[in-house]
Chains A and B, each alone.
Chain A
Amino acid sequence: MKKLKDKIEDLFDNVIINDFYQNRIFVKTNKESVVSLLNYLKELGYDHLALVSCVDHVEENEFELVYILSAYIHNEHENQEKTNIIIKTRISREKAKFTSIINLFENAEPYEREIFELFGVDFVGHPRLKPLFLEINYETPPFRKDFDTRKFVDDFFANIPIIEEIEDEK
């Protein structure tokens, strides 16, 4: 039987695969082939989207989007490798934009909303890109590396005065 790693390498160009750990395959690819790669893996039986994450590489001025897939237990895919596939791609940090994958995996919806809110990545095709967690607007999305929480706390919360009680006039 062909290994999953070889299958991916045969079908897709521009992939760098690293299977350093047991049961984990890290696939680095360009942003055009992410959706087709996810589609292909879903058909292979890797139909559980565990996580969509984002890493801010501020020095390279890039965001790294991370999709983690694993497999549910199906009888028809008995021989598949029980592995986690971690698909990574880089997008530019300026006006960050990517395709939404809700059509493929329904549970990507809140993850994409979260990344939109905390990193400021715009997902094209997402039906309700509105704030998920935050109540007030931050100038920089707070999970970006250039957002300094300690400075923000000093500027924002420390400036609110303590209540001074009005003396009773007797």
Chain B
Amino acid sequence: MRKLEMYFGPQHLGMVGNFSITLQVEGDRILEAEANPGYLHRGFEKLMEQRTWMQNFPLVCRINVVEPDHIELIYAMGVEKLAGIEVPERGKYIRSIYCELARVASHLFGLWAYANMLGFDTVANWAMYHRDLLLDLFEELTGARVYHIYIRPGGVRRDFPAGFEDKIVKTLHKIGSKVPDYNSTFFENKLFEKRAKGIGKISLQEAINMGAVGHAIKALGMKYDIRKIEPYAAYDQVDWNVPTRKDGDAFSRLLAIRDDMIESVHMIFKLIDKMPKKGDVYTKTPNPFKWRIPDGEAYVRCESSRGELGLYIVSDGGLNPYRVHFRTPSYSHGLTILEKALVGENIADVGNIMISFYVVAPEIDR
């Protein structure tokens, strides 16, 4: 059969995000895949070297559109580490609750993309609607739907408004009551099983060699979660599990995502119960225009919805960072693992596999 070169994206219905893959195909089978990123490269890390420590907050959240909150958190954590700032107890809890809400919202977005790709439009519509309910919470808390800029060095920008905890619980109950519906229409649906089982399978050894993190490695049975390994914020204060699966295909990755979402919701309830009712939410920081951070370097990490998120940050004692480098989970998922996982699969499954790894293009390009 004749070999063909096929450009998959950036303008393609099966592509979520501005990303491109060059495929060598024979019939319907993929012989070779080459990821072609860079459509969203803005040179963030260079721009951040020209702005002050505080001015960088509006920039960093734009690195990942789907889930800006964890990027804010990691940058704030990096600055705190360099400057030696402590976060007050209530601030830690609020950060945890806020980040878990962001995780659920982000997973719902992923579920939208995945269900849409497989043609489950009903589920896609539900997921997007439920995400919107969470965005309403964010809007009340921070004033913005997408880019919140809520976390700052030393804590969070402001305390929860009165009665906000109850609103969170109410919204999450509303979404949680639909989990049986999601299960019966999507996760336990034979069609989903047929489309996802055995697709995009990687072995544990391959995953370790290629630096898989997040649900990609949780779907292989390894409980690799930074919230457990190196607890930050208030994750060590409550009891929770890392959900895992065994098979390492698209099916188990999606189920790992669902379990992660449910675990997050339970965690939010526990965090709200245990949260100190009063207290400061942030530590005061110096005047941002004159804020010099002593020279040094730090590597901080946290668990975003797609896996380990890291930040290597260097200060030379000046008003601006000397060098920042984000280690984003999609980077190895989208550039190394995807190229391997696509080989031997069907063209129709490219989007399926890509979204099951939850590759977010702006996070790769930065």
Q: How far is the CA of A142 from the CA of B210 in the complex (A)?
A: 28
Q: In chain A, residues 27-49, which have Cβ atoms closer than 8 Å to a Cβ of chain B?
A: 47-49
The answer to whether B43 touches A149, judged by C-beta atoms less than 8 angstroms apart, is yes
Whether, in the assembled complex, A17 has its beta carbon less than 8 Å from a beta carbon of chain B, the answer is no
Complex Cα–Cα for A89 and B224 (A): 29
CA distance A56 to B323 in the complex (A): 8
- By a CB distance below 8 angstroms, the chain A residues around B331 are 110-111
Smallest CB–CB gap between A132 and chain B, Å?
A: 6
Is there contact, CB below 8 Å, between B46 and A149?
yes
Give A21 to B344 CA distance when docked, in angstroms: 45
When distances are taken between beta carbons in the complex, the residues of chain A under 8 Å from B308 are 50
| A133 interfacial by beta-carbon distance below 8 Å | yes
The answer to whether residues A107 and B323 also contact, given A24-B299, A143-B43, A149-B50 and a CB cut-off of 8 A, is no
Q: Knowing A53-B325, A86-B299, A133-B38 are in contact, say whether A73-B223 is a contact too (CB < 8 A).
A: yes
Is the beta-carbon distance between B43 and A107 smaller than 8 angstroms? Answer: no
> Which residue in chain A gives the minimum CB-CB distance to B209?
A106
- Residue among A55, A105, A134, A143 making CB contact with B211, cutoff 8 Å: A105
Interface centre among B210, B229, B312 (most CB of A within 10 A): B312
Q: Kindly report which residue of chain A lies nearest to residue B213, judged by CB atoms.
A: A48
Is B323 in contact with A55, judged by CB distance below 8 angstroms? yes
Q: Which of A24, A72, A73 contacts B298 (CB 8 A)?
A: A24
A66 / chain B contacts, CB cutoff of 8 Å: 312, 325
- Report yes or no: B43 in contact with A132, Cβ–Cβ below 8 A: no
Of A26, A49, A51, A109, most buried by chain B (CB within 10 Å of CB) is A51
Q: Does A150 contact B (CB under 8 A)?
A: yes
Residue A77 at the chain B interface, CB threshold 8 Å: no
- Is B79's CB within 8 Å of the partner chain A? no
CB distance from A152 to the nearest CB of B (A): 11
Please, which residues of chain B bring their CB within 8 A of the CB of A149? 43, 46-47, 50
B273 in the interface (beta carbon within 8 A): no
Contact of B301 among A50, A56, A142 (CB under 8 A): A50
Q: Mark B100-116, 1 if CB is under 8 A from A, else 0.
A: 00000000000000000
> Are B38's CB and A135's CB within 8 A?
yes
Give Cα A131–Cα B36 distance, bound, in whole angstroms: 10
Interface size on B, residues (CB 8 A): 37
Q: Assess whether B299 is in contact with A143, with CB atoms less than 8 Å apart.
A: no
- A145: nearest chain-B partner, CB-CB: B49
Q: Give the residue of B213, B297, B298, B332 whose beta carbon is less than 8 angstroms from that of A110.
A: B332
Please give the distance in Å from A30's CB to the nearest CB on chain B.
19
- A68 x B312 contact (CB < 8 A): yes
Known: A23-B230, A68-B327, A132-B38. A142 touches B209 (CB 8 A): no
In the complex, are the beta carbons of A26 and B297 less than 8 A apart? yes
In the complex the two chains form, is A68's CB within 8 Å of B37's CB? Answer: no
Least CB distance from A81 to B in Å reads 11
B37 touches A132 (CB 8 A): yes
Whether the pair B222, A72 counts as a contact (CB closer than 8 A) is yes
Complex Cα–Cα for A72 and B47 (A): 33
Would you call A5 an interface residue if the criterion is a C-beta within 8 Å of the partner chain's C-beta atoms?
no
CB proximity of A167 to chain B, nearest CB, Å: 35
- Measured CB to CB, the residues of A under 8 A from B are 21, 23-24, 26, 47-51, 53, 55-56, 66, 68, 70, 72-73, 82, 84, 86, 105-107, 109-111, 131-135, 142-143, 147, 149-150
The 6 closest A-B pairs by CB, nearest first: A133-B38, A107-B211, A133-B41, A51-B327, A110-B335, A53-B325
18 contacts between A and B (CB under 8 A): A26-B297, A50-B211, A50-B327, A51-B299, A56-B323, A68-B299, A72-B208, A72-B217, A73-B223, A86-B312, A106-B210, A107-B211, A111-B331, A133-B365, A143-B45, A149-B43, A149-B50, A150-B50
> Given known contacts A24-B298, A107-B211, A149-B50, what 20 new A-B pairs fall within 8 Å (CB)?
A21-B298, A26-B297, A50-B299, A50-B310, A53-B323, A66-B312, A68-B310, A68-B312, A68-B327, A72-B224, A82-B230, A84-B299, A86-B297, A105-B209, A106-B209, A110-B335, A110-B336, A143-B43, A143-B46, A149-B47
